[in-house]
Amino acid sequence: MNSILSDRINNMEESATLAMAKKARELKTQGIDIIGLSLGEPDFKTPKHIQEAAKSAIDEGKYFSYPPVAGYQDLREAIAKKLREQNNIAEAKAENVVVSTGAKHSIANIFMCLINEGDEVIIFSPYWVSYSEVIKLAGGVPVLIEGNLENNFKATAKQLEEAITDKTKAVIYSSPCNPSGSVFSKSELEAIAEVIKSKENLVVIADEIYELINFTGSHASIASFPGMFERTITVNGFSKGYAMTGWRVGYICAPLFIAKACEKIQGQFTSGGTGIAQRAALAGLVGDQKPTEEMAAAYLKRRDLVLELLRDIPGIKTHVPEGAFYFFPDVSDFFGKSAGDQKIETADDFCLYVLKEANVSLVTGAAFGAPNSVRLSYAASEAELKEALKRIKEVLAKLK
């Protein structure tokens, strides 16, 4: 019966982040003391006032019906206002905004709307695992431009220019970046914008979901640069900054024809995002931002802690991430080493070894386009992080 599955699904990789998280969860239920540093998910609870807004929305009884496909009008207006006032995207209006079931769904909508068979999408690599799979699902061809440890995993505008062909339709990056935690500066984005504008019919997808976890003190939105509104699809959501992963609310702000296309496809796929979750998201956006700021401050403290602990492990090479909640160390010094019958040849082997011997889950960098690295999420308590890094150091010392 297996053979009845489509080529589409057979050719798709499982999400490596979710697969590793599932594995860690399974081991935990077997009673094994796993410290999960694989999933990019805030360990904080959704702020109280957001929870209360969802409860009130239920009590009001007004949000049980199918929502408007592109999202409730007041939420779309609040998002547009935020984009105008905080991100300097002067053209953003409610009609440009489409609210979806998480930013992951926003990204799926975009690629389903843009890609014809064989179209190329340039991805700044290392990149979040789902980009390439959704591009392929839509019939597109992912083309990677690669950053490395030496340039803080930031591919350049020059690399972008060299990778563009007649078939290139779109470019995608995340900043702050998952998996590297790197942040594009305004001038780096300006250079990228110039390349985009120099080619006809080319758009950029700016994934800004980690906007609120940025330690540089400044976040630049490429859509705010002159002439770039028409060329940019800004993606954002509530999962990270507001600790709302399970609520599943994300959004885009795009030129009207793209927003309309995303609304059309969403009308066929989901009928729009959950009503109650949208009410909660609205409270997040317009309410007290202090919990979000406190979470960001906690991530910064943890970043510094993990940096110190990683630097203390011989063989691990890392840059200093400026946002999100990930380290993306290069572990290639361990390739070719072994302990007993366990040999490390790849980042996958490294992760399996650390999972088995240290009971700490990480994700292989191969899934993010960087086979010499592994991703460590520090969205965990300081006590867990200290214990995890202690265990990792001990088991790595056994590799000869």
List of residues contacting ligand GLU (CB under 6 A): 15, 17-18, 39-41, 104, 128-130, 178
Q: Which of 51, 148, 185, 245 binds ligand PMP (CB under 6 A)?
A: 245
Collapsing DSSP states into helix, strand and coil, what is residue 117? coil
Q: Looking at 66-74, 101-109, 159-167, 217-225, which segment touches ligand PMP (CB under 6 A)? A: 101-109
Q: Which of 237, 272, 275, 323 binds ligand PMP (CB under 6 A)?
A: 237
Distance CA 24, CA 3 (A): 30
In SS3 terms, 149-202 reads as: HHHCCCCCHHHHHHHCCCCEEEEEEECCCCCCCCCCCHHHHHHHHHHHHCCCCC
b vs e for 226-265, b when ≥16 Cβ sit within 10 Å of the residue's Cβ?
A: eebbebbbbbbbbbbbbbbbebbbbbbbbbeebbebbbeb
Distance CA 240, CA 171 (A): 23
CB nearer to ligand GLU: give 24 or 97. Answer: 24
Number of chain residues interacting with ligand PMP (CB under 6 A): 13
CB nearer to ligand PMP: give 278 or 332. Answer: 278
Q: Which of 178, 221, 292, 332 binds ligand PMP (CB under 6 A)?
A: 178
Q: How far is the CB of 1 from ligand GLU (least distance, A)?
A: 29
The number of beta carbons lying within 10 Å of the beta carbon of residue 64 is: 11
CB nearer to ligand PMP: give 237 or 349. Answer: 237
Instruction: Fill in the DSSP letter of residue 115.
Output: P
CB nearer to ligand PMP: give 53 or 172. Answer: 172
CB nearer to ligand GLU: give 128 or 242. Answer: 128
The number of beta carbons lying within 10 Å of the beta carbon of residue 332 is: 18
Assess 128 for contact with ligand PMP (CB under 6 A).
Answer: yes
In DSSP terms, which residues pair with 40 in a beta bridge?
Answer: none
Task: Give residues in contact with ligand PMP (CB under 6 A).
Answer: 40, 102-104, 128, 174, 178, 207, 209, 237, 239, 245, 250
